Amino acid sequence: MSFDVDLFVIGGGSGGVRAARIAASEGKARVALAEEYRMGGTCVIRGCVPKKLMVYASAFPGQIADARAYGWHVVAGGFDWPQFRTALETELDRLERAYRGGLTTAGVTIHDCRATVVDPHTVQLATGETVTTKHILIATGGAPFVPDVPGADLALTSNDIFKLDALPSSILIVGGGYIASEFACVLNGLGVRVTQYYRGAQILRGFDDEARGHVADAMRASGIDIHCGTDVLRMDRAADGIRVEATNGTDRTFGAVLYATGRRPNSAGLGLEPLGVAFGRQGEIVVDGHSQTAVPSIYAVGDVTDRISLTPVAIREGHAFADTVFKGTPRMADHDLVASAVFTQPELGTIGLTEEAARAQEPIEVYVASFRPMQTLFAGRGDRALFKLVVSQASRKVLGCHIVGPGAGEMIQMVAIAIKMGATKEDFDRTCAVHPTIAEELVTMKNPVRRG
């Protein structure tokens, strides 16, 4: 059978773009891609990239205060949100052009519209055009989830935060995951009075208990009003903002409310259900190790599969798909020992097992160092860094590493190489320290603080 293209990709985020580009340029396939919003997806347009730039912006008040302590005569003016937002939009435009340029150079045909699946080999465009294809790749990512509470339509989501005309004087952030906690720190640093409600016992569920407790303590010390065991009952429009009734018995008004209560796979309405594609409980597309669905011609990568919802993982899944289907070199993306970073203030970098998960698996040793970093200690700040290694008693392998402090995200990337290679605690011990750095603590922790 003759097809219009060899591959049709639905979704122009990191995973879909990588798959399309590799299939076209290296696999010599005829490729088309449809994106209904902006090329680059969540990470580039409304996620990791703009968020990290906001993290940088929010850190300057502390840096200016430190500069004074170091002898610099500096004065901080007010933060100009419109100026920053304009510069941010310019940068996102540049990145979007780069994504488009990469696809065009590879020979990919771009359709700037929504696409749905008609049958295992046919895609329908919102323009009315149909395209036949040998393979279909779903890479539509995820979308913010807002629970069904009275007044939910009054809430912002992470998609909205970059588009605000002005920053509110106060904000309630609902949620305790990394997105909620990152935005709590960012907005606090930009001068917004931040309150955070989370229904669980501690923010950053799923991360190491000691590490997330360390982050929560630092966030509170910076002025963020965190209320755990608390959820929203209802929201109403008030003359001076949004009135929020909560399960802790309070009735307060905030300038804005941001819901960051998780993300759901963006899989509805694509036409996949009648074809026999299987879905999980949260709407995720079920795939095998090669990202293939129950329909042989249809594949899916990235957040829509809800395996590990991280941009570098989506990129690797997309690349592995292209290698397997179009380059004749079958391989699967490796989801084991994937490092990640939470850009709270302080940052949290992590890889491997938490202390709790490791202890449930086997006897372990735990090495911990907590101290005040030299740079902020000199400036008179009370910041504390945390370094933690979780070690197998039997194999001596480092099962997990958790870092809280300046540059934790940068450090965990390097540590991940060693842990991925199977490094033991003795390998860390044999490595000479670089002094004076905070990272030297990774190789100077000699005695475990606990065993279990």
Which residues participate in catalysis according to the annotation?
Answer: 435
Give the start-end residues of each E strand in 208-327.
Answer: 225-228, 232-238, 241-246, 251-254, 256-259, 263-265, 298-300
The span from the CA of 185 to the CA of 194, in Å, is 8
The span from the CA of 233 to the CA of 242, in Å, is 13
Burial of residue 422, with CB atoms counted within 10 A of its CB: 0-12 exposed, 13-18 middle, 19 or more buried: exposed
Q: What's the N-to-C CA distance of the chain in angstroms?
A: 62
Contact 144, 158 (CB under 8 A): yes
The span from the CA of 251 to the CA of 397, in Å, is 50
The span from the CA of 82 to the CA of 53, in Å, is 14
Q: Is the dihedral of CA 425, 431, 432, 435 positive or negative?
A: negative
Hey, is 171 helix, strand or coil? strand
β-sheet bridge partners, residue 109 = 32
Of 144, 143, 137, which is closest to residue 115 (Cα–Cα)? 137
The residue whose two tokens read 């773009």 is: 17
